[in-house]
Amino acid sequence: MATGLAVIGSGSAAPKASLNNDGLSKIVDTSDEWISTRTGIRSRYLASPQESLSQLSAIAAQNALSMAQVGATDIDLILLATSTPDDLFGSACQIQAEIGAKHAVAFDLTAACSGFVFGMITAAQFIRTGVYRNVLLIGADVLSRWVDWTDRRSCVLFGDGAGAVVLQANEIDHLLGFALHSDGCLHDCLNVQYQGESRPLTGGINVSQGTYQPISMNGKEVYRFAVNRVPEIVEKALFQAELTTDDIDWLLLHQANQRILDAVAKRLKVPAEKVISNIANYGNTSAATIPLALDATVRQGYIQPGDTIAASGFGAGLSWGAAIFQWQR
């Protein structure tokens, strides 16, 4: 029984409309100069009311299945990493129906910007125990739904998108190492908090009725957290893999801010040419950033079969994780 893991296909999708920094500066008091020098972001894709998270995810999934040459009916498990489902009960089942993966069990996984890495490690547990052979892992978010479009400190950072990979059982295990962490004490730094008002029902019983509040973020605190914790966890995962940063071909970080990418790479002593970045065109798409950037780099022909990738996701929770894997297609 093959109980190793191979990453054998990727796909991605973005909404039709994009908004560049000049366009944003018509909505809030900001400028292309401020946004691009502080974050590296120049433009982002934004989903229209007609474009759902499930639709974007289904397109990304189909692209990944087609690269992997795996049929939808051969998928055993669909994991959707998202914090912005179309349905609070979960959107993975809608994607399952959309792509016709009728034999797959499907569920959502919420770990904010760490969701894709947490999802990869979750998928690996099913594959390594021999339970499932083909897993479709999707990272997708439509954070534009939860951004306060009057708050210039946060609305300039985010965009929408979806990315997917196919993970398959393999004789050789190409997931070489991983590490995951959470710290709920830092939850206040970054959240989309539910807020409700008391509604009396009957007999002294009250329930809460409300909705989620827009993204709330302490930018400086998140920045500090990322540049300190991410190098640490990448080193930890590399140690488990018995590798050093010299052995990696690509550093694939959650695309939160170019300054974070640069600072983490500098601490890890990884040269700029090994650091994958597409933040200029997409902004921070939360759980989608890693598979989106992976897919673009694969399709541009940079990532080659056998290349070793150190991926790290980090964000709300706070949560952070790293996975060291080899690309196989």
- 261 phi and psi, to 5 degrees? -60, -45
Q: Which long-range contacts (CB under 8 A, 24 or more apart) does 266-271 make?
A: 267/227, 267/231, 268/231, 268/234, 268/235, 269/245, 270/245
CA angle 138, 155, 40 (to 5 degrees): 75
* Residue that has been written with the tokens 């009725």 in this structure: 209
CA gap 107, 93 in Å, rounded: 7
Q: Which DSSP helix (H) or strand (E) runs through 191?
A: strand 190-191
Catalytic residue list contains 155:
no
Binding of ligand ACO by 23 (CB under 6 A): no
Return the residues of window 213-242 that contact ligand ACO according to CB under 6 A. Answer: 217, 219-220, 222-223, 226
The answer to whether 154 and 148 are in contact (CB under 8 A) is yes
From the CB of 153, what's the least distance to ligand ACO, in Å?
A: 4
CA gap 241, 323 in Å, rounded: 9
Catalytic residue list contains 284:
yes
CA gap 29, 113 in Å, rounded: 27
Return the residues of window 53-82 that contact ligand ACO according to CB under 6 A. Answer: none
Identity of the residue, 55 or 285, whose beta carbon is nearer to ligand ACO in the bound complex:
285
Given 63, 93, 113, 278, which residue is catalytic? 113
User: Contacting ligand ACO (CB under 6 A), which of 152, 181, 266, 329?
Assistant: 152
Binding of ligand ACO by 257 (CB under 6 A): yes
CA gap 233, 231 in Å, rounded: 6
Identity of the residue, 68 or 156, whose beta carbon is nearer to ligand ACO in the bound complex:
156
Return the residues of window 271-290 that contact ligand ACO according to CB under 6 A. Answer: 284
Binding of ligand ACO by 181 (CB under 6 A): no
Binding of ligand ACO by 42 (CB under 6 A): no
The answer to whether 201 and 147 are in contact (CB under 8 A) is no
78 CB-near residues (< 8 Å, 6+ apart):
61, 92, 95, 96, 101, 104, 105, 106, 107, 135, 136, 138
Binding of ligand ACO by 157 (CB under 6 A): yes
From the CB of 37, what's the least distance to ligand ACO, in Å?
A: 10
Tokens of 140: 């997708």
Binding of ligand ACO by 21 (CB under 6 A): no
User: Contacting ligand ACO (CB under 6 A), which of 10, 30, 96, 319?
Assistant: 30
Catalytic residue list contains 63:
no
Identity of the residue, 232 or 307, whose beta carbon is nearer to ligand ACO in the bound complex:
232
Q: x/- contact string, 290-319, with ligand ACO (CB under 6 A)?
A: ------------------------xx----
Identity of the residue, 107 or 146, whose beta carbon is nearer to ligand ACO in the bound complex:
146
Q: Which stretch binds ligand ACO (CB under 6 A): 58-66, 131-139, 149-157, 160-168?
A: 149-157
* Residue that has been written with the tokens 């949560």 in this structure: 319
Interface ranges with ligand ACO (CB under 6 A): 30, 34-35, 38-39, 113, 152-153, 156-157, 190, 217, 219-220, 222-223, 226, 254, 256-257, 284, 314-315
Q: Which of the residues are catalytic?
A: 113, 254, 284
